[in-house]
C-alpha cells in the first residue's frame, strides 16, 4: 500500500465492518469510524456497531447520547487519529455510511465561526412551518441545499444566519480548508443490488432483536428521559419504533415493518449520495462475500 488512507463507503448492512477487518489484517491498518450513529456509547446493537476485535478501532461508542456531535467535530478528531495511525507506520481505513464525513475528508470543510446554538426542536409541526416560512421571507435562500424536514439542520442554518448574516450556502461557497491531499486516499465503495440488500437488512434486524435491541432502547429511554427529546441520537433507526412497541402502541409485526421501511429509505439515500458525490470511487457490487473480499484485496494490492 502506497496510500495513507483507505476510504470504505457503503449503504447500511453492506458488510463494510467485516471487510474492513480483513483489509486491516492484510495491510496493517487501524479502523476509524465514519458512521454518525455509531459514535454513541448507549446504542451499540441498533447502530450495528462492530464487535471488539484484535484490530484497533477508533471513534466508536465514545461519546454520550447527551452530547451534540457534528461533522466538524468528527473531522477534527478523524484528522488527529489518522495522523497518529500513519505515524505508527500503519494505514488508516475509514469505514462507514455517512456521506458528509467522507466528503469532509476528501474536500475539506469551511471554517464557519462558532455561533450561538438555536434549537427549534420543541416546536410542533405548525410552529415549525410558521418559523420556516418567516425566515424564508427574510431570505429566500436561507434553507437552500437543506432538508427542511430535518429540524436540527434548519436550526443550524438559522443560527449561522442570525450570527453572521450569511446563509450556510454562502459559507459553503468559500474555500474549504483541506487537511489531506487527493493522493492520500484510496476510495472504495460497496454497492450490492438493492433487492439483495433488503434481504440482509431484514435478517439483520431480526438478529438485533435477538441480541437485546428492546432492552437497549428501554435503558436508553430511561437515561434520556430528563434530556432533550430531540437529541441527534434519537434519529437512530429503531429507537422511536421500539419505543412505540414498548408502550404497546404497535405490534411486533408493525415494529419490524416500520424499521425495515425506514432502513430501506436510508439505504436509498446512501445510494443517491454515492451516485452524486462518489463518481470517481472504485465500486464493488458482489453479493458473495468471499468474491468481494478477494477482489477488494487484489485491488488494494495494486494501489
What's the pLDDT tens digit per position in 197-230?
Answer: 999 999 999 999 999 999 999 999 888 755 555 6
Of 143, 48, 144, give the one whose Cα is nearest residue 98: 48
179-182: list long-range contacts, CB under 8 Å, 24+ apart: 179/75, 179/79, 179/105, 179/108, 180/4, 180/5, 180/79, 180/82, 180/105, 180/106, 182/106
pLDDT digits 0-9 by tens, 33-51: 999 999 999 999 999 999 8
Residue 235: predicted pLDDT: 85
Spatial distance between the Cα atoms of 159 and 44, rounded to a whole number of angstroms: 31
Residue 1 has pLDDT above 60, yes or no: no
Instruction: Give bridge partners of residue 63 from the DSSP assignment.
Output: 40
Q: How confident is the model at residue 173 (pLDDT cuts 50, 70, 90)?
A: confident
Residue 303 has pLDDT above 90, yes or no: no
* pLDDT, greater one: 260 or 173: 260
All three cell numbers of 199, joined, read: 434481504
Percentage above 70 pLDDT, the chain: 97
Residue 218: predicted pLDDT: 94
* pLDDT, greater one: 151 or 8: 8
Percentage above 90 pLDDT, the chain: 73
6 backbone dihedrals φ, ψ, rounded to 5°: -105, 130
Q: Within 13 Å, how many C-alpha atoms sit on residue 227's CB side?
A: 15
Helices (H) and strands (E) in the chain, counts: 11, 6
Residue 2 has pLDDT above 70, yes or no: no
Q: How confident is the model at residue 82 (pLDDT cuts 50, 70, 90)?
A: very high
Average pLDDT for 9-38: 96
Spatial distance between the Cα atoms of 295 and 52, rounded to a whole number of angstroms: 25
Spatial distance between the Cα atoms of 127 and 136, rounded to a whole number of angstroms: 14
Q: Other C-beta atoms within 10 Å of 36: how many?
A: 22
Residue 65: predicted pLDDT: 86
Average pLDDT for 1-20: 91
Name the E strands within the chain: 5-9, 29-33, 57-58, 91-96, 185-190, 282-284
Residue 180: predicted pLDDT: 92
Residue 225: predicted pLDDT: 58
Instruction: Give bridge partners of residue 58 from the DSSP assignment.
Output: 32
Average pLDDT for 178-186: 91
Residue range 5-109+177-301, CATH number: 3.40.50.300
261-265: list long-range contacts, CB under 8 Å, 24+ apart: 262/237, 263/12, 263/13, 263/201, 263/205, 263/237, 264/198, 264/201
Average pLDDT for 225-241: 77
Average pLDDT for 69-95: 94
All three cell numbers of 294, joined, read: 478477494
CA dihedral 153, 275, 103, 13 (to 10 degrees): 80
Spatial distance between the Cα atoms of 217 and 239, rounded to a whole number of angstroms: 6
> What is the average pLDDT value for the chain, to the nearest integer?
91
How far apart are the two ends of the chain, measured CA to CA in Å? 6
The ranges of the chain annotated as CATH 3.40.50.300 are 5-109+177-301
* Entry pTM: 0.83
Amino acid at each position: 500500500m502506497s496510500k495513507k488512507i483507505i476510504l470504505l463507503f457503503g449503504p447500511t448492512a453492506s458488510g463494510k465492518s467485516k471487510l474492513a477487518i480483513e483489509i486491516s489484517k492484510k495491510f496493517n491498518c487501524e479502523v476509524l469510524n465514519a458512521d454518525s450513529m455509531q459514535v454513541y456509547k448507549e446504542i451499540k446493537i441498533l447502530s450495528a456497531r462492530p464487535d471488539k476485535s484484535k484490530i484497533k478501532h477508533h471513534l466508536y461508542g465514545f461519546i454520550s447520547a447527551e452530547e451534540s456531535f457534528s461533522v466538524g467535530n468528527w473531522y477534527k478528531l478523524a484528522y488527529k487519529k489518522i495522523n497518529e495511525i500513519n505515524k505508527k507506520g500503519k494505514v488508516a481505513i475509514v469505514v462507514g455510511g455517512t456521506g458528509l464525513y467522507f466528503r469532509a475528508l476528501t474536500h475539506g470543510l469551511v471554517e464557519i465561526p462558532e455561533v450561538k446554538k438555536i434549537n427549534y426542536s420543541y416546536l410542533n409541526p405548525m410552529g415549525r412551518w410558521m418559523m420556516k416560512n418567516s425566515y424564508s421571507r427574510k431570505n429566500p435562500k436561507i434553507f437552500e441545499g437543506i432538508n427542511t424536514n430535518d429540524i436540527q439542520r434548519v436550526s443550524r442554518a438559522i443560527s449561522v444566519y442570525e450570527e453572521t448574516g450569511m446563509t450556510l450556502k454562502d459559507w459553503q461557497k468559500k474555500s474549504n480548508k483541506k487537511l489531506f491531499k487527493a493522493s492520500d486516499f484510496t476510495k472504495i465503495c460497496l454497492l450490492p443490488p438493492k433487492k439483495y440488500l433488503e434481504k440482509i437488512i431484514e435478517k439483520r434486524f431480526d438478529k438485533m432483536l435477538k441480541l437485546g435491541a428492546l432492552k437497549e432502547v428501554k435503558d436508553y429511554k430511561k437515561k434520556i428521559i430528563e434530556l432533550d427529546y430531540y437529541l441527534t441520537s434519537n434519529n437512530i433507526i429503531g429507537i422511536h419504533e421500539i419505543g412505540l412497541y414498548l408502550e404497546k402502541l404497535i405490534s411486533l409485526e408493525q415494529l419490524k415493518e416500520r424499521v425495515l421501511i425506514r432502513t430501506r429509505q436510508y439505504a436509498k439515500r446512501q445510494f443517491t449520495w454515492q451516485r452524486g458525490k462518489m463518481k470517481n470511487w472504485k465500486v464493488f457490487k458482489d453479493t458473495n462475500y468471499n468474491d468481494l473480499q478477494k477482489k477488494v484485496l487484489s485491488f488494494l494490492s495494486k494501489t
